[in-house]
Structure 1
Amino acid sequence: MEDLEAHREATSAPQQSGRMVVVVGPSGAGKDTLIGRAAQYFEGRTDVHFARRVITRGADAGGEDHISVSEGGFEAMDRAGSFAVSWTAHGLKYGIPAAVLQELSQGNIVIANGSRSVLDRFRAAFPRLTVINVTARPEVLAERLEARGRETRADILKRLERGSLIVDGDDDVVTIDNSGTVDEAAHQMIDTLETILRN
């Protein structure tokens, strides 16, 4: 009986011939900016889809263009199977809508803002996965984070010393150093996506 149920689940799940691209990196690395640049470049392309995350954060909070829901609303969506991947970080809940599975079943590529701490969940959900790891030199990250005014420079540097900018594992990983100009890093991001589209 269990084998039959497993077979039903396997045959009902859409086959993912496309590729999920998850963009990760520390705060201040510029993930949202690079994703935004890539979205502008590929605007109008039906084979490139940029996922809007569902987040328990106000719509007017700034940062990425996301779908804002309450905690209760998020939990109800999670129970209903509305997310391909979901996680909690920094007191907020994040979800990648299950609708991306349809895009992947059509052979398209999907780009989503993710988190290094839950890459195992992305691996489990998306067999064809590329990780774009956006980094920057610690002093550059510290300068950007200090400009936000939420922490002192000393606290920021201590936090950066504790964290690693490396993605471990056997994933297909592309690292983009965004210590220089945004144009340079955006060019690398777009080139990476173009390469995926050609393969």
Structure 2
Amino acid sequence: MNASADLEPANSSLWDTTAGIMAVVVGPSGAGKDTLMNLAARHFAGRSDVHFVRRVITRDGDAGNEDHRSVSELDFDAMEQAGAFAVSWEAHGLKYGIPADVFDELAQGRLVIANGSRSALHHFRSAFPHLKVINITASREVLAERLMARGRESRDDVLKRLERSALTVQGSYDVTDIDNSGTLEEAERAIISVLEVLVRK
């Protein structure tokens, strides 16, 4: 899928002059990305200078650990054609969209934080001139333990998947890595610290 940046958004006059920063949080399955984003959202609750994006996803509203807007594939495609997304992509059989109203938030100088995907970072870079990537990761041993605890895959399947997957972000992006192999409290402090610095920029 292409970023909806290829379509002209309603507020395209703000395209190259957005004052805010888009922070996209990525990471492999099992790294704890959703949990850390939820903790960060709780920390920044009530802040007018920070906006957490509610993604549009073609999955059930109760699925996953993320507050998202659930839509059918047909509705998603219609929204995409109408230019409703700043960025959209497909992964693991699902479609994901970042609503175009994030441009309004950025134009107000806010820090906008979105749950993203490493495979879609080129779309984010095309859409947002001020992009920060936060890569949540963990050791392969920790990732394997967490994934197997979910009971969705066999040990062999998990280990094979981890062997062929990269834990780092590939490409020339402004990236901060947060290792969530230790305690959740340590990783929570780390992501909040990174976001606090971005808010002050």
* TM-score calculated relative to the size of structure 1: 0.93
Go from structure 1 to structure 2 and tell me whether the alpha carbon gap of 1:58 and 1:192 turns closer, same or farther (over 3 Å shift).
same
Task: List per-residue Cα deviations over 1:142-177 (Å, max 9, x = no partner).
Answer: 111111111011110111010111112221100000
Question: What SS does the aligned partner of 2:64 have?
Answer: coil
Per the alignment, residue 95 of structure 1 pairs with 97
In 1, are the aligned partners of 2:16 and 2:129 still within 8 Å (CA)? Answer: no
Deviations 1:174-194 (A, max 9, x none): 000000111100100000011
2:91 partner amino acid: A
Aligned residues: percent identity? 64
What whole-Å deviation, never above 9, does each CA across 1:82-111 have from its counterpart, x for those lacking one?
A: 000000111100000001110001000100
Aligned position for 2:184: 182
Alpha-carbon separation, structure 2, partners of 1:167 and 1:60: 29
Counterpart of 2:152 in structure 1 is: 150
**What are the Cα deviations for residues 122-150 of structure 1, in whole angstroms up to 9, with x where unaligned?**
00000100000000000100111111111
Query: How far off is 1:61 after superposition?
Result: 1.5
Alignment match, 2:114: 112
Cross-structure match for 1:39: 41
Equivalent position of 2:4 in the other structure: none
2:48 aligned with 1:52? no
Letter in 2 for 1:130: K
2:63 is aligned with 1:61 = yes
> C-alpha distance in 2, partners of 1:11/1:104?
13
Instruction: State the partner residue of 1:3.
Output: none
Instruction: Work out the CA distance in 1 between the residues paired with 2:191 and 2:154.
Output: 31
- Structure number with greater Rg is 1
Answer yes or no: is 1:126 the counterpart of 2:128: yes
5+ residue gaps in structure 1?
1-5
The alignment yields a C-alpha RMSD, in angstroms, of: 1.6
Structure 2 Cα separation of the partners of residues 10 and 74 of structure 1:
22
Q: Return structure 1 stretches of 4+ with deviation > 2 angstroms.
A: 9-15
| Conservation of the 8 A alpha-carbon contact between 2:89 and 2:120 | yes
Q: Secondary structure at the match of 2:114?
A: strand
1:15 Cα deviation after fit: 2.6
> What's the counterpart of residue 5 of structure 2?
none
- 1:138 pairs, out of 121, 136, 140, with 140
The SS at the match of 1:144 is: helix
CA distance in 2, matches of 1:54, 1:12: 23
Q: Structure 2, unaligned stretches of length 5 or more? A: 1-7
Scaled by the length of structure 2, what TM-score is found? 0.92
In 1, Cα distance between equivalents of 2:54 and 2:75: 16
Partner SS state of residue 42, structure 2: helix
Aligned-partner residue type, residue 140 of structure 1: V
Give aligned pairs, total: 193
Q: CA deviation at 1:14?
A: 7.0
